[in-house]
Chains A and B, each alone.
Chain A
Amino acid sequence: MSTVSREVTWRSSLYAIEHRLIIQRKWLKSIILFGVGNPTLYLLSIGAGIGSLVNKHSNGVDGVKYLTFLAPALLANAAIQSAMTETMFPTLAGFIWNKTYFGLRSTPVSGKQIANGVLGSALLQILFTNGIYWLILWGFGAMDHPGSWLTYVITSWSGFCVGAVMLYVASMIGSDDGFMAIVNRFVMMPMFLFSGTFYPLSSLPMYVRWIGYASPLWHATELGRWASYGHSISGGVIAIHFIYISSWLVLGITFAHRRFMKRLAK
């Protein structure tokens, strides 16, 4: 009998996170450059450019300057985008492109633990890139209210919750026929445009407003605005927003666990 010490514990999920971090190591420069460059350019063009126009003609939105109004939505959107990339790409690589998950099933790790690992590493990535984004927003003066730090927590949590659903969706894909492009064009883009990102959702006609109500981005944005500059919403509505976003995590991870286990048992 071999004397090698083997552990079969919950910690296998941490090894799945370590696996992702080793892969991410080589992308670190790109991640930092994108993390800094993307929001900076965005804020210069949309925030400062359009913002100055809005502020000049309407004295801001929702009682604050336009950039302050816009910032929580941008932060939430960045967190969700980051979550999507960090859950869908590894899952597609693991099941379809490299099929590495099928190699891992010979180790003690379970499909559930691999799923946890992917989501865990996505959370780390969200916290990192969202942290950079928040600091840049702060630098632009869009996060100068006392509760603004909470916006970072709320939007990161929202990204994490949406990431769980994306993880499940990616695990359902049998063959990759440009699926990521479809998700980007038909889910992420409409969500970004119709979730009250650039203007209050109430400005939209009812027949498109439902997209915002269904979108986790709108719920995250509302909570972010409340935390960031005291956007007026009741305690009950705050709870509804939080429960709605968190339900994405519960549903996503439950179905992703099942799907990962089933697919690796085939």
Chain B
Amino acid sequence: MPSLENNYVIRASNLKKSFGDFTAVDGIDFTVTKGESFGLLGPNGAGKSTTMRMISATMERTSGELEILGLDPKQRAPQIRSHLGVVPQQDHLDNELTVADNLYIYGRYFGLSRKYLKPKMEELLDFAQLQEKRNEKTESLSGGMKRRLTIARGLINEPEILMLDEPTTGLDPQARHILWDRLFRLKEDGVTLILTTHYMDEAEQLCDRLVVMDGGKIMAEGSPSGLISQYSSKEVLELRFGSNRNAEMAPKLEAYGDRLEILPDRILVYCADAEAVLEKVNHDGLKPMTSLVRRSSLEDVFLRLTGRTLVE
């Protein structure tokens, strides 16, 4: 593999992907440094998965430049793929094989020897907490177990970059936390993680840096805390007046915070001290049905940038 300029494992410049008249990814620029945990955040249809497919050297770009580990995927796709670990949105496990055989045969496709695979499989079965299920067909596994097996499968070749496309979508909270723990361990081991998600808590937990995408474009880039401080206030007061009264009450609330966001079910008041604003709202007799004081999140950043919530 060639030496990496500025330690960039990924470098995209004016990267585009079109399907006929539809432009899925519209001229994006970004870099990812070795060992970094990088997130692509956005709603369905934002272009995250298409970007992931291009980075994972399984889909050709329409135009622009892209370098993965110093190589152009248009010319060296199989070589690039041999150094990547991919956890796709759908597990695509082989239901005709056992848990252990799924790991084994996936490793063989990387040209890995049986001698290497034997201890590696044991290590990954431990990592995924699937030792007891090793001889069972994948059909019998729960959603969380399948996801852990897919992550273990993605690690079989000790990848330079692990790519995870919505790794926890459809999982219950407990399974999500187990997965996050596994991903933290990889991060600590210095594996570069590329992650797409539309869960802002996941992005905040796992990403050192992220881009917010919408309509195939990058809307903002930075660390989760940096983006929040740049695009949102410190705190948020959520007020519910009942769906018919939210719009009516909005003009009366304009003076209470730095900015308002009127959603169908609630009004968000962006401010530095939400407790103080709530006290003032109550004191002035505006009488919300319910109220919630919370710190700003990436969801607020996304609302600010696109006018839409992340999960739709």
Residues on A facing B (Cβ under 8 Å)? 1-9, 11-12, 15-16, 18-19, 22-23, 93, 98-100, 102-110, 264-265
Chain A residue nearest to B95 (CB atoms) is A98
Residues on B facing A (Cβ under 8 Å)? 1, 56, 58-60, 78-79, 81-84, 86, 88, 90-97, 101, 104-106, 108-113, 116, 153-154, 157-160
Number of contacts between A and B (CB, 8 Å)? 102
Q: Are A7 and B92 within 8 A (Cβ)?
A: no
Q: Are B111 and A1 within 8 A (Cβ)?
A: no
Partner pick for B81 among A22, A23, A106, CB 8 A cutoff: A106
Across the interface, which residues of B come within 8 angstroms of A98, CB to CB? 92-96
Across the interface, which residues of A come within 8 angstroms of B88, CB to CB? 102-103, 106
Across the interface, which residues of A come within 8 angstroms of B97, CB to CB? 22-23
Task: Tell me the complex Cα distance, A102–B159, Å.
Answer: 19
Q: Are B160 and A2 within 8 A (Cβ)?
A: yes
Q: Are B109 and A6 within 8 A (Cβ)?
A: no
Partner pick for A1 among B1, B60, B93, B96, CB 8 A cutoff: B1
Given the known interface contacts A1-B160, A8-B111, the answer about A265 and B92 at a Cβ–Cβ threshold of 8 Å is no
Q: How near does chain A come to B200, taking the closest CB pair, in angstroms? A: 27
Chain A residue nearest to B120 (CB atoms) is A4
Task: Tell me the complex Cα distance, A100–B95, Å.
Answer: 8
Chain B residue nearest to A23 (CB atoms) is B96
Given the known interface contacts A1-B1, A15-B105, A106-B86, the answer about A6 and B157 at a Cβ–Cβ threshold of 8 Å is yes
Across the interface, which residues of B come within 8 angstroms of A15, CB to CB? 105, 108-109, 111
23 A-B residue pairs with Cβ-Cβ distance under 8 Å, sorted by A, are: A1-B1, A2-B83, A2-B157, A6-B82, A7-B111, A8-B79, A18-B105, A22-B101, A22-B105, A23-B94, A98-B95, A99-B92, A100-B94, A102-B88, A102-B92, A103-B92, A104-B109, A106-B56, A106-B88, A108-B81, A108-B110, A109-B109, A265-B58
Given the known interface contacts A98-B94, A102-B90, A103-B93, the answer about A4 and B58 at a Cβ–Cβ threshold of 8 Å is no
Q: How near does chain A come to B154, taking the closest CB pair, in angstroms? A: 8
Given the known interface contacts A18-B108, A22-B97, the answer about A6 and B91 at a Cβ–Cβ threshold of 8 Å is no
Q: Are B92 and A8 within 8 A (Cβ)?
A: no
